[in-house]
Each structure stands twice: as C-alpha cells, then as structure tokens.
Chain A
Amino acid sequence: MDASDVRRTLSRLRVEQVLGAILGLLLVFLVVDLFRQLLTGTLELSALRRYVWQGIVVGLIYGLAGIGLSMTYSILRFANFSHGDLLTTGAFSGWATAYVIAGFGAYGLGDLLLVRPNNNPPPGEIGMSITQVPVAIVGGLVLAAVVTVLIALAADRLVYRRLRNESAIALLIASVGVAFVLRYLIAFVFTTSNRSVPASPPTERIDLGFFSTTVDLHEMTLVVSAVVLMIAVHLMLQYTKLGKSMRAMADNRDLAKITGIPTERVVLATWVIGAALAGVAGYLIVLNTGTITYTRGWTLLLPIFAGVILGGIGSIYGSILGGLIIGIVDQVAIVWVPNRLTTAAAFLLMILILIFRPQGLLGGVETA
C-alpha cells in the first residue's frame, strides 16, 4: 500500500468509523485495566469469577426471554413492549401454583393463591425450595408456561390479530397498552407489595477430587432448565417442519404465504413458544433473586431488548448470546462503575450496537 492509498483511506473516514475506533481503544483500555486490577490485587480472582457466574445466570434468563421477543420481532414484525409483563405473568401464576401445591389444606387458600400478600405463610415453613417440595417447584414451572401462553394468545386474539397489517409502530403502541393492562391487572389481583417467595436456597457440596465447590441448587435448577429449553428450541427450529416454516416466514412473509405455509398457524406457534419461554424465565428469575413484585418483568424488558439487539434481531442464537453478554456486562461492570450504573452500562452497550452495528453481532440474519 503506498502513501496515496493511505491518504485516500484517511480522507474517506466517516464519523462513525472514528467513533468506533475510539470505542475500540476504550474497550482495549478496559481489558488492560481489568488485568492490572487483577495483578495488583484490587480485584480478587474469586470476585471476578463470582461476577461472571452471576452474569451467566442472569444472562441465561435474558436469553431465554429474549428468544420469544426475537421471534415476535422477526415473525410478527414489531417490538413487543408487553413481553416483560409476560414474565411477570409467568412469575405470579407459577408461584401461585407452587404455593397451592405445597400448602393446600394447611394454609388459607387466599394466602396461597395470591402468593402471600400478607407475608404469610413463611416460605421456609411451607417448603418452597427444590429439595423440600420439588413437585411444587416443577409444577409451578409448568403452570407458569401454560398460563402465560393463554394470556399471550388472548392478547393476540383481542389486539394484535386485528392489527396484523398495520405498521410496526401501531403494533408497538398497542403492545404498550397491553403491557399496561397486564401489569396493573396483576397488581390489582396480587397487590403491589414486594415479598420474598422461595425459601433460602439449599446448597450442595460437590467434590470431584481435583476440584470442589459449593453450588446453589436453585441456581442450578435455573441453569439446567434454561439450557434444556434452549436446546429444545434449537432442535425444534432446525429439525421440524414448524421450525422451517417459522424461518421461512421470518425471511419473507409473502413468499411463505404463497408457498402454502399456514401463516396464522405459524403465528400461533410463535406466541406459544415465545410466551412459554417468557413465563418460565419470569418464574425462574424469582427462584434466583428471591423476591416478586408486579414491576419485575417491566424492569427486565430493556435488558432483554438489549440482548436481542446485541445478538441481532430475529436471530435466536443471537439473542441467547446477546442475553449472556448483557448479563455479564451488567455484573462485571461493577469493576469500573458505581453499583447503580451497571445496568446503565449494559444499556449504553445496546445503544452503541444499534448505532454502529444495527444488524447485531450475529447480524444480517433475519431468520431464526
């Protein structure tokens, strides 16, 4: 490359490229700083490992919920702002089921069905952990998926189906309306209090001879369920006819229609899968964090969006990857920024991705 080529490249630099280079340098600086902190002992390796692990746990939830969001985005072509409240729906319906299974007869039905609005009965006493009454926890998981699917299908029938041919923005605004209705209906039924729901997590010591660690069994439940579900979605999309039609519809709706794909049935399947995963994600995040409140899902919506955008809207694997990255950033950012700003750092990452690489990391693929 001779001098004139260099000059031409330099004169063609666009603002974004310059900004992108600056951001790249910043990233390198942060990584170097991370090593510096590790070497000087400001940051202990065990602390960093804990942050990353917490990030992966939260990231799996983001990824799991993100699959549904990404699917509605690519197949129904709108940003579903009520997706977060589907998580809340799953959380409340699932835990109500778990409480009823574990405490039926022993405690008042009102306290059980409404997930202890008056802080009674105590979660430890009723056995809200995976080792005490596993059938309740698993039953809650299943019901969380079922109820959320029913709610999502009702919303589709009443609202989204009538707007099928409207613009993305009209659907977005309608989904905000659905989010309001869902959130405040949940608040009206289950009250607005923030209460702890599962019992303190049981732990198990694992000793493999060369490596031993203590694992939180609730965390393990979350990780195992999330990974199993993700694999199931992957198999479904790759190896079934339904998965193929979904990808076809995400690619080109009209073409899918004239090929004879029953588009409405694909839309139905999208809602079923997306809502079931959202409901399970909402249920599991409560298992991990321990408390439940009606705004829970809404506060998770933006990080989930961030993950989906990061991975590339429409790409299922992208949204899993993006969710994991957002989760890890959300936790590890504490190394550099004050406590309250970690979420802001994750959002900043989302905005930067949207500006510099709108197609996302696994970009370009608007197919599942």
Chain B
Amino acid sequence: MKSPRAVYALARADFLERVRRYSYLVTLLFAVYLGYAAGTGQISLRLGDYRGVYTSAWIGAMVSLVATTFLSLVGFYIVKNAIDRDRRTGVGEILATTPLSRISYLLGKFFSNLAVLMSMVAVLAVAAVAIQIFAAEDRAFHAGGLLLPFLFLTTPAMALTAALALGFEALRFLRGGLGNVLWFFLWTFGIALPGITGLAALDPSGLWTVYQSMVPAARAGIPGYVDSFSLTIADKTVRVATGFHWTGVDWTPGIVLARLAWVGAAWVLVLCGAWFFDRFDPAKSRRKVDVGARGESTAAPVAAPDLRDVQGHITTSVHLTPLAAGARHSGFWRLLAAELRLALKGYRWWWYAVAAGLLTAQLAAPLEVSHGPLLAVAWLWPALSWSALGTRETHFGTGQLLFSCARILPRQFPAAWMAGVLVAAGTGLGAAIRLALAGQSAGLLAWAAGALFIPSLALALGVWSGTSKFFEGLYTALWYIGPLHRVPGLDFTGSADGPQAGRYTLMYFAVAAILVATAFLRRARQLRGT
C-alpha cells in the first residue's frame, strides 16, 4: 500500500457517499430483518429436529452464520457498484488522471465495501445481544462466546464478499448482469465447498467450522441425535434440547489461522483485481467492435474555423418534409416490434445460437425433459434481457427523452412488458408446442402463467428499484430453488407436478397481474414527475 492516506480518503468518501443514500437505510433494515428472523426462529440453526439452549455461544454462532450466508449473498449485490458509480458519475476519469495507483484505488474501494458490510454485521451483533436478553434461556452472558464468531466467522466472509464484488467489477465480462447471475452459483458453490471436498480449510462461510464443533457435542448431549446440522429458513417447529448447552467453538490457533486465511485470500483477490482493472480507460472497457466503430467515426482533428467565416457558408439545405396529419397515429404493434428489437439487441451470435439450440432441444426431447430441465434452462438464458425491463431508461439515461413523449403509459409501458412476454414465449415455445401436442392443457396453462410471471417480476422490480440487480439476484435464486430443484409452488415453469399444481398456476397468473399493476402505478408516478 503506497499511499495509506489516499486509500483512507478514498474509502471514507465512498463510504460516506453510500451511507448518505436512502438505499442504505433499506440495507440496514434488511440486516434488522435478518436479526428479527433469527430471533423469532424464522431462520434457525438446527440439529435435526432439535436446537440447543440459547447460550451466548449458540446465539453468537447462529447469528454470525446468518450473516456469513445470507448477508454474503445479498451483500454482494449491495456493494457491487463501487467502481461502477465512479464510471457513471465521471469521477473515475478524474481519479485516473491522478497519481493514485490501481492497487490503492481498489484497496480504498475494498475497505468501503467492507465497511458497508460490517455495518450490517454490527446491526446483527446487536441483534444477537438482544436475542439472548429477550429469549432468556440462559442468563449467563459470555461476551467471547457471543461476539468471537462475528470476528472469526463473519469478518473473513465479509472481506471475501467485499473483494469478490470488486473483482467482478474489475473484470469486464462479470461487471454486468452475467456477474450478478453467476454470483448466486458461486455463492452456492462456496457454501457447499467443504462438503464437496471434505476439506475443513475450504470453508469460506464458516458453517463447517461450527459443524465440526457442534456435532460432536450434540452426539454427547442430545440422546438419539444423528449427525444432522443445518442453517435453514424454518419450515417446521424445532424442539429445544434443554440439556444441551453448547459452549462454542474452541478457537485454536489452527482454526483462527484457517479463518484469517480467507482475509488473506480477499487481499489477494483485490491485488488480482487491480491487475485486470482498466483504470477507466474507455478503450479497454469497450468491446472490440465498439472500439472499431469509434475509430472509424472519429475524424482527424481539424483546426476550428472562424465562425464568422463559416456562418454564411454552412446552410441546412436539406428539406424536412412536414409530417402528414395522419402520420402521428401509428399502431401499437410497431412499437411492440421496436421494444422487442431493443430486448433482443446487443448479444453476440452465440447467444442466439444457444437460444435456438435450446428451442430445438425442447421440440426433440421427451416431454418431461422438454417441460422440465430444458424449459428451466431456456428461461434462465434470457434473464439479462428481462432484467433491463423498467431499468433501461435509468441505466442508459434515456428517461427524459421517453418520458416527454405522449401516451407512454398506455403504449410504451405495455409494449415493453409484452416484448418481455414474447421473449419468454419464444424461448420456451418448444415446450409449449410439446404440451399442446400432448393435450396437456393444465401444463400449457402453467407454462403461460410462467411466461407472464417472469417479465412481470422483472418489470416490477426494475421500475421500483431502478436497477437490474434485484431481478438478477432474486430471479436466479428463485430459478435455482423452483424450476431447477422442482420445488412445488416455487417452480414457475409448472413442471413440478403435485396435487396443488392448478392452484399454483392460478397463483402465478394472479402474482403476474399484481406485479404489472404495481409497476404501472410506479411508472405513472414517475411520469407525473413529482
């Protein structure tokens, strides 16, 4: 670190800029909610059907694991805008002209990311103290047992999250929606890593560390206990093993070093990120095709002519034909076609090739595969097209151009939504044809509900949040639980059969309608310009 003062100043300014936004309050409220969910048992650390008595150690481990898992997932999306903000505001170009090194810049952003995440962890630490006071199952308060898990479990996980968010921003191809979608899978992989490898050291979340301490104690303390351990969103009542007073992880030097190694890994990630960071050089951040186009379009510099000399010679000789009286009343379909073109424009050739391949596969594969995994993948593929719904105007700054046009609400709004529906219908058409040919009207209805639900969710989240990240994160998580793991009720493709399949279809139609209505109301308010 060559310039600690510069790093500090950068981190401080970035942190202040973030915490002075209203969205930061929402971030803190999310942390409060997580604390509330842990305190009320909506999220619980379970040993099969049991949990231990709420000792300081148990509560500390439980709440810190809530932070390392849920906060690392959501927190990534919250902090993954540090470099992007400087890029959008133009501050980045100013910084790029200073002697500030790439490493110093990324370190400043890393500390700002970490500070934001740790402020949320602090809220959860306070919640942990409150849980012990109000639950009052064990009145013996052990500060070490309660708070050391936040230091050794949560802090390294947050450092890793802060560094990964920066790394994703530094790499051009992970900067946008693709990175947001991939993060969910990387996060899932990180949680499962020690289980997959059997190596306790490969445990970024700290779950395995607690598991290795808690399970042997539970075997001795809970009669009939078999090695079950989970941190879950509670779906059934948990019983308190009244005789099991867990005293916490024994923080041996080996365990502490293993945890601190993740801080080191975060540090290395920041340094690697600095290697890839383009330092706001637009030539490096553009795609090759754009650079070429830019090069062609930029004429050699010419001496500025004296305006008095050219005034008389430059004329606008081109004639603008006045518009005919009926020219301003074109149909809705032309606008829909324009919105559809906008939704599908900008991808590389292989994107369309994969979409076409998935479509063909849906037609060729057995029905259960076509309506199952193939449709699931086909409806993940255009996620970034849907995530632009409702956010495109903010993201590209075209809001003023669009919102000063007539009849935006009755024309452009539904056209954009319908373009999203057409993308869903088009990419999943193979499964629909197969369902129709098989005479499965219920399945076809469920497919239709899914095709309406996805763009409705995207539009509502986009219009309300102004960013595509919410949809990209939430939709990926929902897709992972629902269509991929075929959890009834959450599988919006309708492939998960069950006695309540019809009800779920109706539910998705209703939810889609509600989402579109809320998006409509929000857009109407935006158009009023108040």
Q: Decide whether A and B are members of one complex.
A: no
Q: B-contacting residues of A (Cβ < 8 Å)?
A: none
